[in-house]
Copies of this chain bind each other. A is one copy, B any other.
Amino acid sequence: MASDQTRSAILAAAERLYADRGFGDVTLRDIVAEANVNLAAVNYHFGSKDELIAELFVTRSIQTNRERLNELKAAEENGGGRASIEDIMRALVGPTLRGCLGPDREGSTAARFMIRASIESVPPIRRIKNREVDHLRKFAAAMRRAMPASNDTELYWGLHFALAMAHHTIREKERLLRLSEGKCDLDDVRAIIDRVVTVSVMALTMGDVPSKPALRPVVVHGRLTRQDL
Protein backbone atom coordinates (compact mmCIF):
# COMPACT_ATOMS: atom_id res chain seq x y z
CA MET A 1 0.00 0.00 0.00
CA ALA A 2 1.30 3.45 -0.80
CA SER A 3 2.61 5.05 2.35
CA ASP A 4 0.32 8.06 2.04
CA GLN A 5 -2.75 5.86 2.12
CA THR A 6 -1.86 4.48 5.52
CA ARG A 7 -1.06 7.94 6.81
CA SER A 8 -4.34 9.34 5.57
CA ALA A 9 -6.30 6.40 6.89
CA ILE A 10 -4.82 6.93 10.33
CA LEU A 11 -5.52 10.66 10.26
CA ALA A 12 -9.09 10.14 9.15
CA ALA A 13 -9.81 7.40 11.65
CA ALA A 14 -8.18 9.30 14.49
CA GLU A 15 -10.09 12.48 13.75
CA ARG A 16 -13.38 10.62 13.57
CA LEU A 17 -12.83 8.69 16.79
CA TYR A 18 -11.52 11.69 18.72
CA ALA A 19 -14.44 13.75 17.51
CA ASP A 20 -16.95 11.11 18.57
CA ARG A 21 -15.51 9.85 21.82
CA GLY A 22 -12.95 12.37 23.01
CA PHE A 23 -9.22 12.13 23.52
CA GLY A 24 -9.42 10.35 26.83
CA ASP A 25 -11.42 7.42 25.56
CA VAL A 26 -9.59 6.62 22.35
CA THR A 27 -6.41 4.55 22.29
CA LEU A 28 -3.99 3.94 19.46
CA ARG A 29 -5.40 0.45 19.21
CA ASP A 30 -8.87 1.87 18.60
CA ILE A 31 -7.49 4.09 15.87
CA VAL A 32 -5.56 1.42 14.01
CA ALA A 33 -8.53 -0.91 14.20
CA GLU A 34 -10.75 1.77 12.69
CA ALA A 35 -8.17 2.54 10.03
CA ASN A 36 -7.42 -1.13 9.30
CA VAL A 37 -3.72 -0.65 9.69
CA ASN A 38 -1.09 -2.10 11.96
CA LEU A 39 -0.48 -0.73 15.43
CA ALA A 40 3.12 0.15 14.69
CA ALA A 41 2.07 2.29 11.75
CA VAL A 42 1.22 5.22 13.98
CA ASN A 43 4.68 5.45 15.45
CA TYR A 44 6.25 4.77 12.09
CA HIS A 45 4.40 7.57 10.32
CA PHE A 46 3.93 10.12 13.08
CA GLY A 47 6.57 9.34 15.67
CA SER A 48 4.20 9.31 18.60
CA LYS A 49 0.59 9.61 19.60
CA ASP A 50 1.02 13.23 20.62
CA GLU A 51 2.50 14.14 17.26
CA LEU A 52 -0.49 12.56 15.57
CA ILE A 53 -2.87 14.68 17.63
CA ALA A 54 -0.76 17.75 17.01
CA GLU A 55 -0.82 17.19 13.27
CA LEU A 56 -4.61 16.83 13.29
CA PHE A 57 -5.05 20.01 15.26
CA VAL A 58 -2.49 22.05 13.35
CA THR A 59 -4.09 21.15 10.05
CA ARG A 60 -7.51 22.25 11.17
CA SER A 61 -6.24 25.37 12.89
CA ILE A 62 -4.43 26.46 9.77
CA GLN A 63 -7.60 26.09 7.77
CA THR A 64 -9.61 28.19 10.20
CA ASN A 65 -6.92 30.85 10.42
CA ARG A 66 -6.68 30.99 6.65
CA GLU A 67 -10.41 31.52 6.35
CA ARG A 68 -10.28 34.25 8.95
CA LEU A 69 -7.47 36.10 7.25
CA ASN A 70 -9.05 35.72 3.83
CA GLU A 71 -12.27 37.16 5.13
CA LEU A 72 -10.37 39.99 6.80
CA LYS A 73 -8.45 40.72 3.64
CA ALA A 74 -11.62 40.71 1.56
CA ALA A 75 -13.24 43.12 3.97
CA GLU A 76 -10.24 45.42 3.86
CA GLU A 77 -10.17 45.44 0.08
CA ASN A 78 -13.88 46.08 0.05
CA GLY A 79 -13.43 49.11 2.28
CA GLY A 80 -10.54 50.52 0.29
CA GLY A 81 -7.78 49.33 2.58
CA ARG A 82 -9.63 49.73 5.84
CA ALA A 83 -12.27 47.30 7.05
CA SER A 84 -15.09 48.31 9.35
CA ILE A 85 -14.86 47.08 12.91
CA GLU A 86 -17.98 45.05 12.32
CA ASP A 87 -16.49 43.22 9.36
CA ILE A 88 -13.32 42.57 11.32
CA MET A 89 -15.24 40.94 14.13
CA ARG A 90 -17.21 39.00 11.59
CA ALA A 91 -14.00 37.70 10.04
CA LEU A 92 -12.78 36.73 13.47
CA VAL A 93 -15.74 34.70 14.71
CA GLY A 94 -17.47 33.78 11.45
CA PRO A 95 -15.27 30.93 10.23
CA THR A 96 -15.20 29.14 13.56
CA LEU A 97 -18.91 29.47 14.16
CA ARG A 98 -19.77 28.47 10.63
CA GLY A 99 -17.47 25.48 10.91
CA CYS A 100 -18.69 24.19 14.25
CA LEU A 101 -22.40 25.01 14.26
CA GLY A 102 -25.12 24.68 11.70
CA PRO A 103 -27.44 21.90 10.64
CA ASP A 104 -24.92 20.13 8.40
CA ARG A 105 -22.34 19.85 11.11
CA GLU A 106 -23.13 16.18 11.69
CA GLY A 107 -21.34 15.36 8.50
CA SER A 108 -18.32 17.43 9.35
CA THR A 109 -15.87 15.37 11.32
CA ALA A 110 -13.41 18.24 11.25
CA ALA A 111 -15.84 20.53 13.02
CA ARG A 112 -16.68 18.00 15.68
CA PHE A 113 -12.98 17.36 16.19
CA MET A 114 -12.33 21.04 16.76
CA ILE A 115 -15.18 21.26 19.22
CA ARG A 116 -13.71 18.33 21.09
CA ALA A 117 -10.29 19.96 21.06
CA SER A 118 -11.88 23.07 22.49
CA ILE A 119 -13.53 21.15 25.30
CA GLU A 120 -10.87 18.68 26.35
CA SER A 121 -7.60 20.49 25.75
CA VAL A 122 -4.93 17.80 25.90
CA PRO A 123 -1.24 18.73 26.27
CA PRO A 124 -0.16 18.57 22.61
CA ILE A 125 -3.05 20.82 21.66
CA ARG A 126 -2.43 23.24 24.51
CA ARG A 127 1.11 23.68 23.30
CA ILE A 128 -0.07 24.64 19.84
CA LYS A 129 -2.79 26.96 21.09
CA ASN A 130 -0.18 29.08 22.79
CA ARG A 131 1.06 30.12 19.37
CA GLU A 132 -2.38 31.48 18.53
CA VAL A 133 -1.54 34.88 20.00
CA ASP A 134 0.51 35.75 16.96
CA HIS A 135 -2.48 35.12 14.77
CA LEU A 136 -4.74 37.22 16.96
CA ARG A 137 -2.32 40.12 16.83
CA LYS A 138 -3.14 40.54 13.17
CA PHE A 139 -6.75 41.12 14.15
CA ALA A 140 -5.76 43.49 16.89
CA ALA A 141 -3.80 45.48 14.32
CA ALA A 142 -6.77 45.62 11.96
CA MET A 143 -9.01 46.73 14.80
CA ARG A 144 -6.56 49.46 15.71
CA ARG A 145 -6.69 50.74 12.16
CA ALA A 146 -10.48 50.68 12.19
CA MET A 147 -10.78 52.44 15.56
CA PRO A 148 -7.76 54.71 15.88
CA ALA A 149 -9.38 56.66 18.68
CA SER A 150 -9.92 53.66 20.91
CA ASN A 151 -7.27 52.67 23.38
CA ASP A 152 -5.57 49.31 23.29
CA THR A 153 -7.05 48.00 26.51
CA GLU A 154 -10.62 48.37 25.28
CA LEU A 155 -9.61 46.83 22.01
CA TYR A 156 -8.14 43.72 23.58
CA TRP A 157 -11.12 43.26 25.85
CA GLY A 158 -13.44 43.50 22.89
CA LEU A 159 -11.42 40.97 20.95
CA HIS A 160 -11.36 38.72 23.99
CA PHE A 161 -15.10 38.93 24.55
CA ALA A 162 -15.84 38.21 20.90
CA LEU A 163 -13.84 35.00 21.11
CA ALA A 164 -15.47 34.26 24.45
CA MET A 165 -18.97 34.37 23.01
CA ALA A 166 -18.04 32.39 19.92
CA HIS A 167 -16.12 29.65 21.68
CA HIS A 168 -18.50 29.37 24.60
CA THR A 169 -21.40 28.99 22.21
CA ILE A 170 -19.59 26.12 20.54
CA ARG A 171 -18.47 24.51 23.78
CA GLU A 172 -21.78 24.81 25.58
CA LYS A 173 -24.28 24.56 22.80
CA GLU A 174 -25.88 21.49 24.31
CA ARG A 175 -26.39 23.24 27.61
CA LEU A 176 -27.80 26.37 26.02
CA LEU A 177 -30.16 24.23 24.01
CA ARG A 178 -31.32 22.44 27.13
CA LEU A 179 -31.50 25.58 29.25
CA SER A 180 -33.58 27.41 26.67
CA GLU A 181 -35.64 24.32 25.94
CA GLY A 182 -34.88 24.67 22.27
CA LYS A 183 -35.81 28.33 22.08
CA CYS A 184 -32.28 29.33 21.10
CA ASP A 185 -31.86 28.17 17.54
CA LEU A 186 -28.32 26.87 17.23
CA ASP A 187 -28.78 25.91 13.61
CA ASP A 188 -29.26 29.48 12.42
CA VAL A 189 -25.56 30.18 12.19
CA ARG A 190 -25.97 33.46 10.38
CA ALA A 191 -28.13 34.87 13.15
CA ILE A 192 -25.69 33.67 15.78
CA ILE A 193 -22.77 35.32 14.00
CA ASP A 194 -24.78 38.53 13.71
CA ARG A 195 -25.57 38.37 17.38
CA VAL A 196 -21.99 37.81 18.47
CA VAL A 197 -20.73 40.53 16.12
CA THR A 198 -23.33 43.01 17.30
CA VAL A 199 -22.56 42.50 20.96
CA SER A 200 -18.82 42.60 20.29
CA VAL A 201 -19.07 45.89 18.44
CA MET A 202 -21.24 47.29 21.22
CA ALA A 203 -18.65 46.21 23.75
CA LEU A 204 -15.94 47.90 21.72
CA THR A 205 -17.75 51.18 21.27
CA MET A 206 -19.22 51.57 24.72
CA GLY A 207 -16.64 53.98 26.06
CA ASP A 208 -15.42 53.92 29.59
CA VAL A 209 -16.88 51.44 32.00
CA PRO A 210 -18.30 53.16 35.07
CA SER A 211 -16.80 51.52 38.12
CA LYS A 212 -19.63 51.23 40.58
CA PRO A 213 -19.09 49.59 43.95
CA ALA A 214 -19.49 45.85 43.72
CA LEU A 215 -22.07 44.16 45.86
CA ARG A 216 -20.38 42.03 48.45
CA PRO A 217 -22.15 38.72 48.97
CA VAL A 218 -23.42 37.60 52.33
CA VAL A 219 -21.48 34.44 52.98
CA VAL A 220 -23.58 31.88 54.75
CA HIS A 221 -21.71 29.13 56.48
CA GLY A 222 -23.64 25.94 56.78
CA ARG A 223 -23.58 22.28 55.99
CA LEU A 224 -23.49 21.69 52.26
CA THR A 225 -25.67 19.08 50.70
CA ARG A 226 -25.99 17.83 47.16
CA GLN A 227 -29.34 19.59 46.96
CA ASP A 228 -27.55 22.91 47.04
CA LEU A 229 -25.92 22.15 43.74
Contact = CB atoms under 8 A, between A and B. Distances in A.
A5 interface: no
Q: How many copies, total?
A: 2
Contacts of A24: 122-123
Contacts of A180: 152-153, 156
A195 interface: yes
A152 B94 CA distance: 25
A140 B184 CA distance: 14
Contact of A165 (B62, B161, B209): B161
Interface in A174-229: 175-176, 178-180, 183-185, 190-191, 193-195, 198-199, 202-203, 206, 209-215, 217-220, 224-226, 228-229
Given A121-B121, A160-B176, A194-B212, 20 more contacts: A59-B224, A61-B229, A62-B226, A62-B228, A65-B229, A66-B220, A66-B228, A70-B218, A98-B214, A137-B179, A153-B184, A153-B185, A156-B183, A157-B195, A160-B172, A163-B168, A164-B164, A164-B168, A191-B211, A194-B210
Smallest CB-CB A-B distances: 7 pairs: A164-B168, A156-B180, A71-B217, A62-B228, A199-B203, A62-B224, A164-B164
